[in-house]
């Protein structure tokens, strides 16, 4: 719906159009001129893959070589969830009463799908060590199961979150941070896993991350579904 | 021209398109969508440029994976803020003349 009042003046539109076209051309020219990198990160990752505790390069980067990014990412996710919950709870919104779904097809489908989805999430988590997969994919799939339950009216989760759900939201960050800091306390550097334990630690972190990420995404979703009745 | 570079060019176009929509449309939902399109463009540039020599590079791929999750959560927070604004004031834009 493009009501005229929601758009800016014709002049601004034309100027913007020209400006963004120039921007796109400038970006493309800059990309063509880029010198090829002198060091190949892909090769470095490949050389050290044996030390990382996993066999898939992307997982190795995410959970080992650049685990700092992942740790901060979970912190950001947690902040977003807290922000969403704060907005929601301050508004005094009560969760939508779980509308008993009238459709037997939907109910049957949910019955069939949710166990399969949980199984798939477990597989993705396990597969992350040697092929594409891992905590984020598993978490997203778990969240999808929750969304499905929510849409079918079977479950009104996380509004406000119970103590258990709060623990679930937090556990990924807490476990990750504990592992990161314990390396520091035992004389290493932040996030340096003991080499013999790297595989197990990564699997542990990924498992709790999957649960937390799933709950976080679900919490963000269910924080936004009640239509704004005014 | 390699496939990777084509992805990067597509990404640059998406950034430009998103920026245009971000400036031109006042409705907050459109602005949030435009910002997401820009973000997707940046991800494409990152992944595309890194593999313009041929082989895929796991480092930018992992960073983009991180970025996608952060973008999703930021979008959700933005939508929650927008909904709160609508519930409180009925406004869908930040235009103060409304």
Q: Is A3 helix (H, G, I), strand (E, B) or coil?
A: coil
Residue B31 predicted with pLDDT over 70? yes
Is A198 or B68 the better-scoring residue by pLDDT?
A: B68
Least confident stretch, A145-149, A224-228, B46-50, B65-69: A224-228
> What SS3 class is residue A228?
coil
Q: What angle do CA A190, A81, A137 make, to 5 degrees?
A: 70
Q: Chain A closest CA to B56's CA: distance in Å?
A: 8
Rounded average pLDDT over A193-213: 86
Q: Where does the pLDDT of residue A1 fall: very low under 50, low under 70, confident under 90, or very high at 90 and above?
A: very low
Q: A83 to each of A73, A115, B32, B90, how far by Cα in Å?
A: 15, 31, 17, 21
Q: Provide the shortest C-alpha distance from residue A42 to chain B (in Å).
A: 5
Could you identify the residue written with the tokens 């932040």? Answer: A190
CATH of B3-89, one of 1.20.120.140, 3.10.20.600, 1.10.287.3510, 1.10.10.10: 1.10.287.3510
Residue of B nearest to A49 (CA): B58
pLDDT at A100: 56
| Residues of A whose CB is below 8 A from B19 | 20, 23
Using one digit for the tens of pLDDT, what is the confidence trace for A124-143? 998 888 888 888 889 999 99
Average pLDDT along chain B: 88
> Domain-by-domain residue ranges, chain B?
3-89
Report the gap between the CA of B28 and the closest CA in chain A (Å): 10
ipTM confidence: 0.83
Classified as helix, coil or strand, A57 is helix
Average pLDDT, chain A: 81
The model's pLDDT over A82-112, given as tens digits with 9 standing for 90+, comes to 888 888 776 665 555 555 566 788 888 888 9
CB distance B76–A80 less than 8 Å? yes
pTM: 0.82
Q: What sign does the CA torsion over A157, A160, A164, A166 have? A: positive
Q: For A42, which of B23, B58, B81 is closest by C-beta distance?
A: B58
């Amino acid at each position: 719906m493009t009501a005229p009042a929601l758009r800016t003046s014709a002049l601004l539109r034309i100027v913007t159009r020209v400006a963004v076209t120039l921007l796109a051309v400038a970006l493309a020219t800059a990309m063509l001129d880029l010198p090829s990198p002198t060091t190949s990160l892909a090769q470095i990752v490949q050389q050290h893959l044996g030390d990382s505790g996993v066999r898939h390069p992307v997982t190795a980067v995410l959970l080992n070589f650049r685990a700092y990014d992942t740790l901060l990412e979970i912190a950001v996710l947690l902040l977003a969830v807290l922000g969403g919950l704060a907005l929601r709870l301050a508004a005094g919104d009560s969760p939508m009463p779980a509308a008993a779904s009238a459709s037997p097809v939907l109910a049957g489908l949910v019955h069939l799908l949710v166990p399969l989805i949980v199984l798939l999430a477990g597989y993705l988590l396990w597969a992350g060590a040697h092929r594409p997969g891992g905590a984020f994919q598993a978490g997203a799939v778990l969240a999808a199961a929750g969304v499905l339950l929510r849409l079918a009216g079977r479950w009104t989760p996380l509004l406000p979150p119970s103590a258990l759900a709060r623990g679930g939201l937090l556990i990924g960050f807490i476990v990750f941070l504990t592992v990161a800091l314990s390396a520091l306390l035992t004389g290493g550097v932040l996030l340096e896993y003991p080499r013999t334990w790297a595989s197990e630690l990564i699997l542990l972190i990924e498992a709790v991350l999957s649960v937390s990420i799933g709950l976080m995404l679900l919490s963000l979703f269910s924080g936004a579904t009640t239509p704004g009745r005014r | 021209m390699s496939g990777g570079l084509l992805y990067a060019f597509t990404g640059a176009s998406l950034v430009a398109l998103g920026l245009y929509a971000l400036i031109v449309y006042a409705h907050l939902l459109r602005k949030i969508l435009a910002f997401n399109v820009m973000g997707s463009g940046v991800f494409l540039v990152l992944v595309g440029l890194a593999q313009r020599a041929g082989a895929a590079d796991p480092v930018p791929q992992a960073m983009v994976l991180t970025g996608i999750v952060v973008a999703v959560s930021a979008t959700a927070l933005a939508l929650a803020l927008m909904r709160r604004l609508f519930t409180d004031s009925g406004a869908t834009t930040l235009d103060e003349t409304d």
